Amino acid sequence: MPRSLRSLRHQRFLARLVSLRKAKGLTQAQLADKLGRPQCFVAKYEGAERRLDVIEFLDLTAALDADPCEILSSLRS
């Protein structure tokens, strides 16, 4: 099993998060402001330099007005 940070599924997960951010018309800095975090927080998880924990993921989906269950279910296959 490949390391999850570099797996195909993780790459799809990150691509989905990036595409959601862009679809909302947000820059990394704007999203970071909504989250109360520095811009490098967004850059690091989008660049697969760090993982999101469950609470961070839920906060992120709330900031993007996205359904976390839908995002996760899209990763099953």
Q: Could you tell me the domains of the chain?
A: 8-73 (1.10.260.40)
| Segment 9-64, tens digit of pLDDT | 899 999 999 999 999 999 999 999 999 999 999 999 999 999 999 999 999 999 99
**68 CB neighbour count, 10 Å cutoff:** 14
Q: Given pLDDT bands bounded at 50, 70 and 90, which one contains residue 7?
A: confident
Residues 6+ apart with CB under 8 A from 32: 38, 39, 41, 42
Report how far apart the first and last C-alpha atoms of the chain are (Å, whole number): 15
